[in-house]
Structures are given as C-alpha cells and as structure tokens.
Structure 1
Amino acid sequence: MSVSLVEVVIFLAAAVIAVPIAQKLRLGSVLGYLLAGMVIGPWGFGLIGQVDEVLHLAEFGVVFLLFIIGLEMQPRRLWALRKVIVGLGGLQVLATGVALSLAAAWIMHLPPAPAAVAGFSLALSSTAFALQMLGERGELTSRHGRSSFAILLFQDLAVIPILALLPLLSIGTTEISLLGGIEKTAKAAAVIAGLVIGGHYVLKPVLRVVAATRMQEIFIAMTLLIVVGTAAVMEAAGISVALGAFVAGVLLADSEYRHELEANVDPFKDLLLGLFFIAVGMSINLGLFASHPGYLIALTLGLVAVKGAILAVLARRQGLSWAASRNLAAYLGQGGEFAFVILSTAVAGGLFVQPEADVLVATVTLSMVLTPFAVQGVAWFNARRAPADQTPDYETPAESEHPVIIAGFGRVGGIIARMLRAKRIGFVALEANPAQVDFVRRFGAKVYYGDASRVDMLRAARAEEARVLVLAIADVEVSLRTVHMVQTHFPHLTIVARARDRQHAYRLMDLGVTVFQRDTFLSSIALAGDTMRALGMRREEVERAQKTFKAHDEARLAEHYEVANDEDRLAKRVREAAVELEELFERDELAAEPDESGGR
C-alpha cells in the first residue's frame, strides 16, 4: 500500500479533531473514529479513496489487540473459561446464524446457500468494537465483559470453518469437494498446532537471547516480529490472523517477558485500532443509505434486535443477571469485521452479486455506528432499574489480586516477595536484568522482565489497579527516575522505597518519599547487637542499646536533611550527634543500674 505524506496528515488530523469532540459529547472514541472516516472517505469529502487498502493495513490493530488479550489470558484461565467459550459462544453463533439465515431468505429473497452465508457472517460481532468499548468503560473484567470475550473468541474460531466451507457452496464450482473442505480445515488445525508447539519450544529461548542484549529497540523489533510473523503464517494458511495473534499471546502469557511485550505492542495497537475504525467509517456507502434509508435502517435495527434478544436469553441461561445480560446484548449486537472478509469471498465465489453484498456491508457498518448509543442507552436503563445500594455485577480480575508491584528483584525485592507470598498477598515483580529473571525463575519465583521506570511497563503491570509500589531498585538514578514517573502518572500508589545509603535517602525525601529503609541499617544494628552479646553483655542491655541507637539515628536523619547539601554544616551536625549518642548511652546505663543491682 502506498500512502502519501498528505494522506497521513489527513488521518492524524481527522483523529485529533473528531475523537476529542466525541469524547466531550460522551459518545466514546470509537464513534469519533467512525465519524472521522465518514467525513474524509469517498462518500464524504473524498480526501482518501483507498478504502480497501487502508482497511487491510488497519486490521493489524485487531491483530495487536488479540495478541495483548492473549498475553492476559494464561492457559489455566483460558481452560477455566472453556465451558463459557464453547457453551455460550457456540450456542450464540448457531442460534443467531440460523435465525439471521431465515431472515435473510425471507427479507432479501436469497436462495438457501447465500442466505446461510449471510446469516452466519452477520452472527459474528466486532472484536475490535466490543473489546475497545469494554476497556474504555472499565468493564472487561465484569461478568458481561468476560462472557463477551468468550463469545468473541469462539466467533474468531468459527471463522475458520465458515471460510473453509464457502467453496462448497459456490455457484458453478465443480473442482471443490467435501474432501477439499475437510482438508482445508485439517490444514488450519495443523498450522495452529505447529504454532503452539513451535512457540512453546522456540519463542521463550529466543526472547531470552534478545533480552540479554539489553537493547530496548531490538526487543521491540522482536515483539513486532512475533505478532506480524504469526499473522503472515496464518494468512498464508487461510486462517484468521487475529486468532493466530491470540494464540501467540496465550503461549507467552506465563512468560517472564509478558509485561514487556504488552508495553511494546500497546502503542502500535492503539494507533492501528484507531485507523481501523476510521477505515470502517470510510467504507460506509452513504450513497446507498441516501437511496434506501428506510430499508437499511430497518435491516440494521432488525439485526441488532435479533442478535441482542438471543444474546440476552443465552446470557440469562448462563446465570448472568438481567442487567449483565442487557449489557452483553448491547456490546455484541453489531455485525463484525469478519463479515467483510466472508462476504467479499462469497462475491468472488459467485454466491452473491455485488449490490447484495453492499447492502449487508452497509448494515454491518451502520450497526457498528449504533453500538455506542446502544451501550449508553442500556447503561442508563440499568442505572434507573437498579436499586441505589446494589453493587455492580463484577468479578475480581486476576490482576486486581496483585495490590503490590515490586520494582527490582534482587536481594531486597526477593526477601520482600517471600514475605508477601507467605502472607498470601499478591504482587507483580519486575526486574530489568534478564539474567537475574532467568536465575530466580529457576527457583520458582514469579518475576517478569521489564524496566519499572517506564510508564508503559507499569501500565502493562496494571499499576492503576495496584495500591503499593515497593521500590527495591539498586541503581540510585533509576530509582529516583521511577519515583518521579510514578508520582506523575500513578499518584495514588503508596511508594515504599529502598535507600542504598544516607544520600539516597535524602534524595528520596527531596521527592516526597517518606517511607523508606536504608540497605544495611537494620542488619548493621543486628550485627552490632551480636557483637555485644559475644562480648558477654546481657540481652536486655543489648536490646536497649539497639533501640536507643535506632531511634536516635532516625531522628538525626530527619534533622540532618535540612543541611544535607551543605557539607561543612552536615559534618558538624554528625560530630554533635556522635557525642549526643554517647551521652544517651551513659544516661541509659545509669538509669538501668538500680534494676540490675536489685535495688528498687
């Protein structure tokens, strides 16, 4: 695809203008992108004409989105959702596909084969639209959010057999047999199996080698190679590239590089998803809408109503509340991007004439435009219906079970992690040294490769959902840089810091960090006590000396902070503190003498 610099400027300007306006009107970013596409597309001002080419490139936004979803879906969690994926997802595709096939045969007067293709293509919802809106509204981890994801995943799986069976239904095809369709499906299964096996034994070792270079740009290149390379293999095999990216993400979900991969992919995902929504808006045939507005509106409302009703009933059978069922119906009531692929393939095979496909494509795109309004309407309705004291229908997400983020997993971070684990307090540990990550993982510690001083890294670790950041980074400058970044982007986090020495402690105090411990302070006090006991001093006397020294030093630390940048004044204060400490010890000894001699 050849895109001029002027066209790039048009895309960026359209997004920058339309999305903030849509957000201001509380319509959501998705509708803003759609409207921007309609304005600059061939049916608007005609500023961009290469709709198909732009849409093909922008589909990588969906690919990156599914890769990130896969990274967050560890195999054990995916296995836990198997009944929802197969049960709810399978029933939705079957029931909706049959109902819409009958409707297409009746309303559009289509023969059985084209009607079936139309019905099952319209039964698929938009992964990009639904997941983007669920994420924006913070509902990905709600009951209806998880059920939506399960249905969308099954729909992505269903695309494979639908595309494989299309040649069997094509008009005038004599070379394709049932055996050929089975062969194509088997080929798809073999490719996915090869991806799973190869990914398990190849990806992690290769990532370990790349991470060892300590070059961020090379790791980013490797991340893109995984996603784009997987997509290329899947496309060559005739399989959904988004599904392939999801499988690659799942394979790496338990990897120590999971958060680093997500942080690297996220900016590309957001940009390309925006481009995808703009391209969908550009593809809306406003000329067809102008010539048959009532017909298209009726088809769109009928599609959303049929899908929504079936989704709501199935969700209730699955145990969701009525409020969650209505939310599910609103998010998944639209047609999906895979309908474009299926319908274009059907046109090429002679199942449809182009005008019929145009009507269905226009119906799908209009249903996407309608979705943000449907979601807002259902949310308003649920709020009116729900009692004031009713809590939202949410489940606890896995990531919110980790209220602590440990930045740095060396000798300090490791001990903290062991104590938290023993108390069953969840945490996410990040370490920027790949050799250290590899070493501690061999001993069963769950730590992820990543630089905690990067804002995108902490976002990938769900810092917005955590409560405490344990700053156990050994490098003083990186430690201070991390504090500044956390205070800027995640001010709600309580920072509990490691200070390498007294000067590091002063610099942490400069940034407003008040909860910290110096590396060797407590261990040195403990060793001093061991030394005193080895000299024959009684336990009570040693403990009193340790307590006095600790309180005195901590008080002087705060006092000396005022002159930390003046070396002469600081040296004078330190000498005075040493004399003061000796006097304290003498007073303690005198006060303790009557008790120790048996007087009083």
Structure 2
Amino acid sequence: MTSYFLQAFIYLVAAVITVPIARRLGLGSVLGYLVAGVVIGPVLHLVGDETEAIQHFAEFGVVMMLFLVGLELEPKSLWAMKAKLFGLGGIQLLLTTIAITFIALELGQPFSVSLTIGLIFSLSSTAIVLQSFQEKGLEQTEGGKNAFSVLLFQDIAVIPMLALIPLLALPELMAAGNTADASAHNYSLVDGLPAWLYAIVIMGSVAVVTVGGHFLSRPLFKYVASSGLREIFTATSLMLMVGIAALMSLVGLSPALGAFLAGVMLANSEFRHELKSNIEPFKGLLLGLFFITVGAGIDMQLLTEKPMIILALTVGVMLIKAVILSIVTLLFRIQGQNRWLFSLSLAQAGEFGFVLLNFSSQNSVLPPELVEILSLVVAFSMFLTPALFILFSHVILPAYTNKSNRRQPDSIDDYGTVIIAGIGRFGQIVNRLLLANNIKTVVLDVRAEQIDNMRRIGTQAYFGDAARPSMLHTAGIDKASMLVIAINDKEAAIEIVKYVKHAFPRVKVLSRAFDRGHGYRLRQSGANFIVSETYHSALAMGAEALRSLGIHAVQAERQVAAYKHIEDKQSDTLYEAWLDDASGERIDNNYIKLFIQLEELIQQALKEAEQEANSVLHAKEQDPQARVMDKEQ
C-alpha cells in the first residue's frame, strides 16, 4: 500500500509543479503534463514499469472527454454536421492512410505492415487537440469545428480498424509464436464468432448504448436524485461511464465511441448539467495523468540508440499529415488562419495509436521491435503538438490579425454630436437610443467584419481604431459633445479617456467598465460617467428572481432601490480608499475593511427595505380603496 501512496504522490507533485509553470509561460497544460512525465520517468527514474498499466487506466479520461463532448451535441446537431463528419474526416483518413502506406512500402515493409502503419498514423490525438482548443478558446472557430469533425470520424473509424488488423497477420510472426496472448481475450464476447454474428453483436451493443441512454437512464437518474445524496449521483455517473467502456471493450469496439453516443443521447436530458459537473473533475485529472504517462513512458535507451531514425519518422509523419490536411482545406474551402489551425492541430498521431500498436503486436501483424520504435514516434508527435499550438498562437494568428488590420481607416466627412467607440452589443443599444431621439452619431470599430455587418443592416459605421488620436480627429472629436466608449479592450479604453480629457476637456466621456477595478481606473483617468456592463442587468435579474419566488413586486423594487442607494453612497468612499493604496495592488487592508462595511450596510438596508415594504403592504391590506387601486394597477 505504501508504494501506491508514494507513486501517487510523485505523479501529483510533478503535475502541481510543472503545469502551473507551463500555463504561466503560455505553453498550455498539456505540455506541462508531458514535461512532468519526462522528468519523473526517463530523467529522474522515479517511476518505472507501472507506467504502462497506469496509462491504460488513464485512457479512461479520453472516454469521459468524449462523453462530455456528446453531452454538448443533440442528435439533430450531429446529423447536421454529417457532411463535414464523413467528408472532411473520410477524405483525411483515406489520403493519410494511402500516403503513409506508400512510403512504408518504399522503405521495404510488407504490404500488411505498411497498411497497418498507415491506419495507425492516420489518427490524431482527440485528448490533446480538444484540451488545447478548450484552453485557448478555439472550439467555436471554423478551424476548431472542422478539426472536431475529423477527430470524431477518426474515433468512429477505430471500430473497422480493430476488425481489419487481425486479418493482416504475418504468417512468419504467427509461426514464431507471436500470437496474441490468450489472457487478452478472456473477457471478450466476440472471439471465434463468424462475421455475420459479430456484426449483429456490434449493432446490438450500439443499440443498447443509444436506446439505453435515451430511455433507461432518465428513470435511473430520477431514482438516484430522489435520494438527495450527491455522492450517489456521482457514483451513478461513474457507473454509467465504466459500464459503457466495459461493454464496448467486451465486443471489441472503442469505449470512447460508446461514451460519445451515450452523451449524445443524454444531450436533451434534464440531468445533463449535473452529469457534466460530476464527471468534469475526473476527466481533467485522468487526462492529465494520461499525458504524464506518455512522457514517463518514453524509452530513453531506444531513443539514444536510434535518435535520428525516430526524429526523422516523427517529423516525416507530422509533415505528411500537415500537407494532406492542407490539401483537404483547399477541397473544403477552409481559408486563412482556420486553415493553419486545422492543419497544425491534427498533424500528430493519437492516443489510440498506442492501443492499435499493442493490438497489432498481439495479433502478429507488427513485430515487437517495430512497435517499440513506432510507439516512440507516436509519443514524440504528441509531445511536439503543444509547440504547434504555440506557433499558431504567437506567429500565425498575429500575422493574420495584422493583415486584417491593414485595411485603411474609412474617411469620415459627416460628423455627429456623439462619437461611439465600439459597435458590439453594448454600443449598438446606446446607438439605437441616440438615433431614436434624432441625435447624430459617428460609430467607430476596429473589427472590419463587424463594420460590414452593421452596414448590411443599415447602420452607418466606420472602420477605424478609436485608440488612435488621428482617428478621433478624423471622426470629429473637436466638434463632438460626447464620447461613448464601448470597446472590449480595457487598457485601450483607459488610454482613450486620458487622451480625450487632456486634449478636449469639454467633451463628456461615458465609458463601459468591466468590473469595479476597471471602473476606478476609468474614473481616475477622468471619465465623466461609468457604468458596469453587468451591474444593472444583475439587479434586474435579482429583482425578477425575488418576484418569481413569491416576493411581492413592491418589496422587490424597494430592495433593488435600497441596494443602488447604498452602492452609490459608498462608491466615493471605496474609490478614495482605492486611490490611497500605494502598494500598486489597490486592495489593501483598509479597502477590504471598507468593502466588508459596504456588504454589511447593504444587508442592513435590504432588511430595512423589507420591513418598510411589509408596512406599506399591510397598510394597503387595511385600506379597501388602496387594495382596489393596487389590483387595477
């Protein structure tokens, strides 16, 4: 037992130290986990033979991740993406398999070995790509969505690969006794079955997962939820995952695919959010553990013996896949930065590569010495993937951003009373209110596509960066009476306020603030009026919540008014305390003390407002005429 505690402690310490450092340096958590594995494995030799066993356990994180992805997709949404799923995914897998098979044949490998290698390296890493997309906010980009379609198709394609690979067995390997170990099939339901019966078993298993996920899971979760025990609901969620993985493994299918199908079936379930919150922590931890085992499992002895071969194979595979992916982007008209994101993110081999390599060795398709080399190629391609994301984020994306910003600012010859910097949702509302009252505006935005969208719906807007003094002069800041700042850049908003209040002090500046601290900085810079983007909407939501819970409308409105009154009354005091802090952090003990006092004052005011409202309501109940008027209102 002590050895298990020590091993767990080593893995956790490695993750705790390296991952925050990697995130702080902008390298992403995946690279942090991989580096942690290399340090405790090949470098310090703190972990050993148990790494492979732990890796098989940690692969369950991929199963959970696909389940969570499925929860975000309704069957209707999945059907809508069928063209990209089978078009993008199918063409990518076919072209990659053909290209790598041909190269392996040219290197002297038999056809069955070459085809197996081509199939294995046609897959990409679902775990690394989706995790990196999530961390960098790339899931909703065109490149991210197309990459997800390919990854999903690849996970589906693992099923026929598992069925095909045993048919490619080499007679000489079988004769040498390198057949699959009998223990590997002790828990299989499909060994020895004829092809037609095997197909029926597969379809039946898929039907059990899909039909069960749709019809049987709801009564189960309702029964468990009625107990009121959160830990039992968590246990049920894990039971569902383990059961799906076990069933899929028993019939030789991909557990990740089964989990994805179950997630899709539960996408409309009322328990979807609860399932997600229960499984998310386990998914993140197991995926991190999986990446650590990839780094720890690198065979340094083999690497030192054949470094150039392994490096050449790794770079060659990634280059071939990137080129083929680029060709696919041309066929499907994926352009610009999305083309680069799609090509670079899928250029590595995937975690299923380890599974298929072991499966191929057990079924006498690939010799063990070749499996060892190819396993290193898979691991190193995954290890290099975070570097490709860094290349995209720091080189390619800025290049396209700068290119899009090369559009020349519009010339403006029609000035207005108010200049609005930023025409997003916030700026649009302000602009509509002003135009409705016949107040002429000049709208500026640095996003060319947003300007074009506004013009399509008949809103006059100009392309230009309001943070540049020259653009403000072009927009007529010297003739305007007011400037409304509604841009998304905090620092740029502050710089605009400073410049305008210095150069044109008569111009009234109204600005949106993202939070209290940003509001203080805008006020310090000279803004005349500041509003938090969430303040009033949060108050409106709070009032509606009170009314929906049966609180009388009079009482709800009085409490909202009391909250606003105390907040406005104390804002100057908090601002002065914020200004007095010389530490640079602007949140010293005095400020915290005043903030606590503000919270206490708000609570006291809300109680007084409640008592006052109750008195008013009681008086109305005693006055018949007042009750009648209240009903009429």
Shorter chain as denominator, the TM-score bin is 0.5 to 0.7
Change (3 A) 1:182 1:126: farther
Match of 2:272 among 250, 258, 273: 258
Within-5 A mapping of 1:404-443: none
Which residue does 2:314 correspond to in 1?
300
Q: Could you say if the C-alpha distance between residues 185 and 285 of structure 1 is closer, same or farther in structure 2, counting changes exceeding 3 Å?
A: farther
Deviating beyond 6 angstroms after TM superposition, the runs of 4 or more aligned structure 1 residues are 173-179, 490-493, 550-553, 559-564
For residues 353 and 46 of structure 1, what CA distance do their matches in structure 2 show? Answer: 29
Counterpart of 1:292, as a letter, is K
- 2:348 paired residue among 300, 313, 334: 334
Following TM superposition, by how much is the alpha carbon of 1:358 offset from its aligned partner in structure 2, in angstroms?
1.0
- Please give the residue correspondences for 1:304-453 in structure 2 after superposition, counting only pairs within 5 Å: 304-388=318-402, 390=404
Matching of residue 168 in structure 1 with residue 167 in structure 2: yes
The amino acid that maps onto 1:154 is: F
Aligned mates of 1:566, 1:147 — CA distance in 2: 53
Letter in 2 for 1:289: L
Matching of residue 194 in structure 1 with residue 238 in structure 2: no
Deviation of 1:551 (Å): 8.7
Q: Tell me which residue corresponds to 2:236.
A: 222
Change (3 A) 1:523 1:178: same
Q: Distance in 2 between matches of 1:239 and 1:497?
A: 48
After TM superposition, give the deviation of residue 522 of structure 1 in Å: 3.4
Separation (CA, whole Å) in 2 of partners of 1:47 and 1:552: 60
What amino acid is the match of 1:276? F
* Aligned residue runs from structure 1 range 48-67, under 5 A: 48-67=48-67
**How high is the TM-score relative to the length of structure 2?**
0.64
Q: Which amino acid aligns with 2:40?
A: I
Q: Write out per-residue CA displacement over residues 394-423 of structure 1, whole angstroms, 9 at most, x where no aligned residue.
A: xxxxxxx9xxxxxxxxxxxxxxxxxxxxxx
Q: Does 2:96 match 1:96? A: yes
Q: Matched residue of 2:158: which SS?
A: helix
Q: Quick one: which amino acid aligns to residue 116 of structure 2?
A: V
Q: 1:553 to 1:12 in 2, by over 3 A?
A: closer
1:494 and 2:538 aligned: yes
Change (3 A) 1:518 1:260: closer
Q: What letter matches 1:84 in structure 2?
A: K
Distance 1:524 1:276, change over 3 A: closer
Q: 1:387 to 1:242 in 2, by over 3 A?
A: closer
Shift of 1:18: 1.2
Asked if structure 2 preserves the Cα contact closer than 8 Å seen for 1:43 and 1:285, the reply is no
Structure 1: how far apart are the matches of 2:82 and 2:551?
50
Superposed counterparts of 1:196-211, under 5 Å: 196-211=210-225
Distance in 1 separating the partners of 2:2 and 2:92? 40
Match among 273, 280, 286 for residue 272 of structure 1: 286
Q: Report the equivalent of 2:591.
A: none
Query: Does the 8 Å contact 1:43/1:284 carry over to 2?
Result: no
1:322 positional shift: 3.2
Q: Structure 1 residues 116 and 15, CA, compared in 2 at 3 Å: closer, same or farther?
A: same
Which residue of structure 2 aligns with residue 142 of structure 1?
141
Tell me, yes or no, if structure 1 residue 522 matches structure 2 residue 566. Answer: no
Shift of 1:495: 5.2
Determine the structure 2 residue equivalent to 1:477: none
**1:311: how far off?**
0.9
- The answer to whether the aligner puts 1:288 opposite 2:298 as a matched pair is no
The whole-number CA distance in structure 1 between the counterparts of 2:115 and 2:554 is 74
Identity %: 36
In the alignment, is the contact (CA less than 8 A) between 2:10 and 2:46 conserved in 1?
Answer: no
Residues 311 and 328, structure 1, Cα contact 8 Å, conserved in 2:
yes
Secondary structure of 1:41 counterpart:
helix
Q: State the 1:24 CA deviation.
A: 2.5
Which position in structure 1 is the counterpart of 2:39? 39
1:54–1:387 CA distance, 2 compared to 1 (3 A): closer
Any idea what the Cα deviations from partners look like across 1:170-206, whole Å, max 9, x if unmatched?
1237999999456534432321122112222211111
Tell me how far apart the structure 1 counterparts of residues 91 and 602 of structure 2 sit (CA, whole Å): 72
SS in structure 2 at match of 1:494? helix
Query: Are 1:78 and 2:122 an aligned pair?
Result: no
Q: Is the alpha carbon distance of 1:555 and 1:331 closer, same or farther for their aligned partners in structure 2, counting shifts above 3 Å? A: closer
Q: Deviations over 1:82-140 (max 9, x none)?
A: 11011110111111011011112223x21000110011101100110111111110111
How far residue 552 of structure 1 moved from its aligned partner, in angstroms, is 13
SS of structure 2 residue aligned to 1:4: helix
Change (3 A) 1:329 1:495: farther
- TM-score, L = length of structure 1: 0.67
**SS, match of residue 124 in structure 1:** coil
C-alpha distance after superposition, 1:414-442 (max 9, x if no partner): xxxxxxxxxxxxxxxxxxxxxxxxxxxxx
1:46-73 deviation digits (Å, cap 9, x = unpaired): 4333122011110111111111001001
- 2:229 and 2:380 map into 1 onto residues whose CA distance is 45
- The alpha carbon displacement at 1:380 in A equals 3.1
SS at match of 1:386: helix
* Cα separation, 1, equivalents of 2:561 and 2:46: 70
Deviation string for 1:224-245 (max 9, x for gaps)?
A: 1111111111111111111111
Do 1:498 and 1:519's aligned partners in 2 also have CA atoms closer than 8 Å? no
Note if contact 2:47-2:296 (Cα within 8 Å) is conserved in structure 1. Answer: no
Q: Deviations over 1:451-474 (max 9, x none)?
A: xxxxxxxxxxxxxxxx9xxxxxxx
Does 2:260 align with 1:246? yes
| Corresponding residue pairs, total | 446
Q: Deviations over 1:2-44 (max 9, x none)?
A: 9610001001001011112222322211111111111212564
Work out the CA distance in 2 between the residues paired with 1:169 and 1:2: 44
In structure 2, do the counterparts of structure 1 residues 563 and 343 end up closer, same or farther at CA, with 3 Å as the change threshold? closer
| 3-state SS in 1 of match to 2:404 | coil
| Cα distance in 2 between the residues matched to 1:294 and 1:492 | 63
CA 1:210–1:296 in 2, change beyond 3 Å: closer, same or farther?
Answer: same
Name stretches of at least 5 consecutive residues in structure 1 with no aligned partner: 392-400, 402-466, 468-489, 506-515, 526-549, 586-600
Q: Tell me by how many angstroms 1:293 deviates.
A: 1.4
Instruction: Give the letter for the 1:138 counterpart.
Output: G
- Whether the 8 Å contact between 2:563 and 2:602 is mirrored in structure 1 is no
Change in Cα spacing, 1:493 to 1:55, as seen in structure 2 (3 Å) is farther
RMSD: 4.0
